[in-house]
Amino acid sequence: MAPLKRRSAATWDVARLHGLMLALDAALNSYIAQCYEAADRSPQYRAFWEAEAAAAETQKDAALHKVQMWIDYAGGKSPELMR
């Protein structure tokens, strides 16, 4: 694998960040759906799989919020206003 090139701190590619956001959303939604499917197929482990889906949903929300903050920053929004 080739070493990653470090991007200039002044250069932000909003389209790539948006693509990352969409990929994270799709992948984590798929995982969450699989957790619920596993809960339906294995009633004895239903609580485990539902808890796993809830944890994945929390992680997805946090990750998407962080990427949205990067997009806002790249768009010129002041860091003090991003919370």
The per-residue pLDDT string of the chain (83 residues; one tens digit each, 9 = 90 and over) reads 566 565 555 566 788 889 999 999 999 999 999 999 999 999 999 999 999 999 999 999 999 999 988 888 887 777 777 66
C-alpha distances out from residue 6 to 1, 12, 50, Å: 15, 12, 40
Nearest Cα residue to 31 out of 47, 54, 10? 54
Q: What is the pLDDT of residue 78?
A: 74
DSSP-derived letter for residue 78 is: -
For residue 27, the model assigns a pLDDT of 97
What is the pLDDT, as a whole number, of residue 82?
66
Distance (Å, rounded) from C-alpha 35 to C-alpha 22?
Answer: 20
Whether pTM exceeds 0.95: no
